[in-house]
Amino acid sequence: MEVGRPKSPGPSVDFSNLVRSDFWFLDGNIVIVAGHAAFKVHRGQLQRHSDIFGALLSLPQPQDADFFEGCLYVELHDDPSDIFYFLSALYDGLYFKSPHANDFTALAGVLRLSSKYFVEHLRERCLNRLDIDWPSTLAGWDRREQAATDSRGRYVPRESCPHPILVIQLALDLGIDSILPAAFYDLARYGPSKIMSGAPLPPSAFDEYLVKDKSKSLPPVRIFYLSRGQLLRTLRGRERVQRYMAHFIASSLQSRSPAPDCVHSLDADPSRPCHESFYFIMLNILRSVGGIACGRDADTLYTLTQAMDMLSRTDFSDGQRQCGLRICQPCKVDFAACAMKAREEVWAALPRWFGLTGEDDADETFP
């Protein structure tokens, strides 16, 4: 951060090459310069919200300092788009009406600068929004997944939430550990080739100024890739999630015993309707794990939810009519409790499976 400079060695900024943003107030009394962008704003607005700016702008300035259009200028070594979103939040407020992936560029920019310049109310608002999209609780994750499903039942998470690679990079840069388990799990649901393909950074609002200014060109699309270490972390976590699902199928479905109070336990063929129902659920889960259904082969939380939903569905076919599973109520309750416990175990294990706790469980076996 640099405030003006003595005139003798000449200005450090080429003022003739700057692009003026929407934040160019006629009564502004300070110009912020970031890269090729300039913002004419009010010192009081910056000082009111940030102790860093308050301390910086209260320093006495040399009499021969450079001025731009009669105003002192401050050169910041931050991304111009981040400055744009940060000033927009300071002047106009920061509002997220409904979850949308395109909000991420603004949110990330405001979070970076509110953290850097100690603007706590903006930082807290950004963190609260991140916690909605990348929750630290299973209940929060279920709400997030429901919000990502439209009125026609289509699952469209990339419309409501940004690509997890972008979120992981932001979290690692700023030390936001609480959102990493959900972000890594979300990423691990992609196939390995998609995980390795990276994620494009959405264009920023400030890019439109470059289009208007014919002397400037749009920056190339930036693709973010995981580092080798983060890629290994993701793929290992993916393997562990899938291994847990295989363990659940073997222990809780393939060899499952009926509930102690099974209604059909005294039939000539004891508990046959319940055994057949468990077998049917297992076949459908295997379709999901194999990637046949919905392409969500590594989404164990979703698969377990689908298994529970099968208990109450009535849209199956026996070849003649639609019907539900013939499983008895005690076995329904018993299996639903088992699947719910499994979901809770998966959620609790995510930090460990993705190597976020410092524990090495590469050889973990499930009881």
CA distance 144 to 135: 8
Angle of CA points 278, 283, 284, to nearest 5°: 100
Give, to the nearest 10 degrees, the angle between helix 329-353 and helix 228-249.
160
Let me know: does 126 contact 94? Beta carbons within 8 Å. Answer: yes
What does the buried/exposed string (b/e) look like for 274-313 if buried means 16 or more CB atoms within 10 Å of the residue's CB?
A: bbebbebbbebbbebbeeeeeebbbbbbbbbbbbbebbee
Do 201 and 166 meet the contact criterion of CB atoms below 8 Å apart? yes
DSSP annotation string for 67-99 = EETTEEEEE--S-HHHHHHHHHHHHH----SS-
Measure the CA–CA gap between 20 and 107, rounded to whole angstroms: 22
Average pLDDT by consecutive 10-residue portion of the chain (367 residues)? Answer: 50 73 92 92 95 88 77 91 95 84 91 97 96 96 91 84 96 98 96 94 73 63 93 97 94 92 87 92 82 69 94 82 89 97 98 89 55
Strand, coil or helix: what is 2? strand
67 C-beta neighbours (distance < 10 Å), count? 13
Provide the whole-model pTM: 0.89
The full set of domain ranges for the chain reads 2-77, 82-226, 243-353
pLDDT at site 62:
74
Q: How far apart are CA 310 and CA 140, in angstroms?
A: 23
Token pair for residue 207? 């890019």
- What's the rounded Cα separation, in Å, for the pair 74 and 32? 5
